[in-house]
Amino acid sequence: MTAIISKPDVRPVNPNFSSGPCSKRPGWSLEGLTDAPLGRSHRAKIGKVKLAEAIDLTRDILKIPDDYRIGIVPASDTGAVEMAMWSLLGARPVDMLAWESFGSGWVTDVIKQLKLEGARKIEAPYGELPDLKSVNFSHDVVFTWNGTTSGVRVPNADWIPADREGLTICDATSAAFAQELDFPKLDVVTFSWQKVLGGEAAHGMLILSPRAIERLESYTPAWPMPKIFRMTKGGKLIEGIFKGETINTPSMLCVEDYLDALKWSQSVGGLDGLRSRADANLKVLADWVEKTDWVDFLAVDPATLSNTSVCFKVVDPAVTSLSDAEQAGFAKAMVSALDAEGVAYDIGAYRDAPSGLRIWAGATIEASDLSALIGWLDWAFAAQKAQL
């Protein structure tokens, strides 16, 4: 039996460590959104200006090439990925990479919904990357840059050839604004506002390379295309989508919130500043793991360790000797105890992932709050172990 340690004296100022929707930026308040043109049409001049500004700031901060199009689309990152797959796939075989739940979801869509012949699954278990050397780049390729539910990311884009024949479709929702995306290697990039920048949900971003646009204008899928997915008319790209003329009605309050987050990003040094904040947050957690014997990262290779959605497993022998259901119950009890104390909300592992903890460490989180949290993690573990 383990003695219960005392509760720490210091609490995180901000206990919101959810991996989506993620914490708002430091200093955020509703008063910062008073310039939102509520009750006005997004098609009015004021609405178009706001939407265009969101696109322009996105390009500037993420350093997106000038010849790439950026669109605001419905249904969060999921909508953006679905638009890309339904509109672009089918012209050639496709390699689907999956090492966590969202990547596996895209596999299901392609194989069971689009029913593409020649679709190839390249998978790996939670904590690992699949064999990237086995990818066939004469095929289209669909992958997540950062596995939100596994805490495993691709370390770079060196495995993607510049002279590839197929398109690369990258779900970057928990990577954008915290990790370096190599845009010349990516033909489609998607993300949502509610991840690294802590924006509000239901709006997605779709970024297209010239190669992706060429495919859109030269290829018509065999299946019917829902209106919400249509990006071409008469064989030409609908340019308005990429100038802020959205397919459906956006929330101008959410747009204002995204603009607020983008302007805050500029104030902390843009992409470099955001990455530095996330890296510093990861270091707090990595230093703790190194000196703590009951916990380890779910990621097997340190080079693939996410600096945003950081996933942990309990490795104490007294816990690992339990059944899978009992281990899951142990982790859930820790999460509940931390929630009850008001020091950490929503840090349980994703429902399809191995049991454990998942702590958001993206740029809107303060390193000081993570430093305060780790003492509480040790407390929660000791308290639950004492009950075994």
Domain architecture of the chain: domains with CATH? 34-266 (3.40.640.10), 269-385 (3.90.1150.10)
Q: How far is CA 371 from the centre of its chain?
A: 23
Question: Is 198 within 8 Å of 179 (Cβ atoms)?
Answer: no
Which residues are within 8 A (CB) of 107 and not within 5 positions of it... i.e. 6 or more apart?
96, 98, 119, 121, 123
Residue 3 reports pLDDT greater than 80: no
Confidence of residue 2 (pLDDT cuts 50, 70, 90): low
Residue listed under structure tokens 């990455």: 275
Structure tokens at 318: 């007294």
* Rounded average pLDDT over 384-388: 94
> Before 21, cis peptide (omega within 30)?
yes
Q: Indicate the pTM of the whole model.
A: 0.97
Q: What angle do CA 180, 182, 184 make, to 5 degrees?
A: 160
CA distance 357 to 128: 17
Confidence of residue 118 (pLDDT cuts 50, 70, 90): confident
Confidence of residue 98 (pLDDT cuts 50, 70, 90): very high
Q: Could you give the 3-state DSSP secondary structure of residue 203?
A: strand
* Rounded average pLDDT over 106-118: 93
CA distance 372 to 27: 19
Residue 313 reports pLDDT greater than 60: yes
CA distance 375 to 337: 13
pLDDT in tens, 22-53: 999 999 999 999 999 999 999 999 999 999 99
pLDDT in tens, 330-363: 999 999 999 999 999 999 999 999 999 999 999 9
pLDDT in tens, 254-280: 999 999 999 999 999 999 999 999 999
Residue 125's nearest CA partner among 328, 301, 361 is 301
* Rounded average pLDDT over 80-91: 98
DSSP bridge pairs for 141? 95, 168
Instruction: Supply the mean pLDDT for the chain.
Output: 97
